[in-house]
Amino acid sequence: MRIEHHAFKPADLVAGHLALDLVNTVTARDTQPRDWLDDYDALLRWARQSGRYARTDLAQLEDLSQAEPAKAAAALGRCKTLREALCAILYALSQDAAPPAEDLAVLDKARLAASAAARLVARQGRLQAEWSVERSGPDLIAHTVVAHAIDLLKDAQLDRLRICDGHDCGWVFIDTSKNGRRRWCDMATCGNVAKARRHQQRGATAR
């Protein structure tokens, strides 16, 4: 898998779920995979683009990564291990297959670590788990992703889990279309490319 620098933009987060968007930080899984998380700062850029993390937390994580780069690098490694385990699990589930036991073990280990760092708080009359930089350190992003992933894997939305049909993609997404037949992660990218390719093929056949 090639590692490359990437400037995250809104079109990179179209999966419909935080955990799936993390899985999609690797693109072209169906051909020559490219990993967009080249360093911890890239993970922070992705988290910032997701809009799911407080600016103050991300600022603290940036300071922490600069002060303790070795710890940040180790946290990035754990996050990537989680990402790949999630990918294998989601790919299997999307094909009605049993997820690999080793990947379930990785997810379970990450779940336990996230649970140990969580604090139970009351928000609007309900109890919920909450994570902080103080308790999670540079693993904060991974801890919250794990929590979202576990919720997803227990949810009926898995019936709408899809793998993009586009070439050079392989992204996972939740199909929110009314008929449940969405084929591409994003019509503006993979969808248009596929349509243009079909148009070219029809033109070549007509000649």
Give one word for 163, left, alpha or beta, with left for phi > 0 and alpha for psi -120 to 50: beta
pLDDT band at 204 (very low <50, low <70, confident <90, very high): very low
Convert the pLDDT of each residue in 178-189 to its tens digit: 888 889 898 777
Dihedral of the CA atoms 94, 44, 33, 70 (nearest 10)?
A: -120
CATH class of 2-206: mainly alpha
The domain locations on the chain are: 2-206
Convert the pLDDT of each residue in 7-62 to its tens digit: 999 999 999 999 999 999 999 999 999 999 999 999 999 999 999 999 999 999 99
Rounded to whole angstroms, the Cα distance separating 163 from 145 reads 19
Range of weakest confidence among 22-36, 133-147, 148-162, 164-178: 148-162
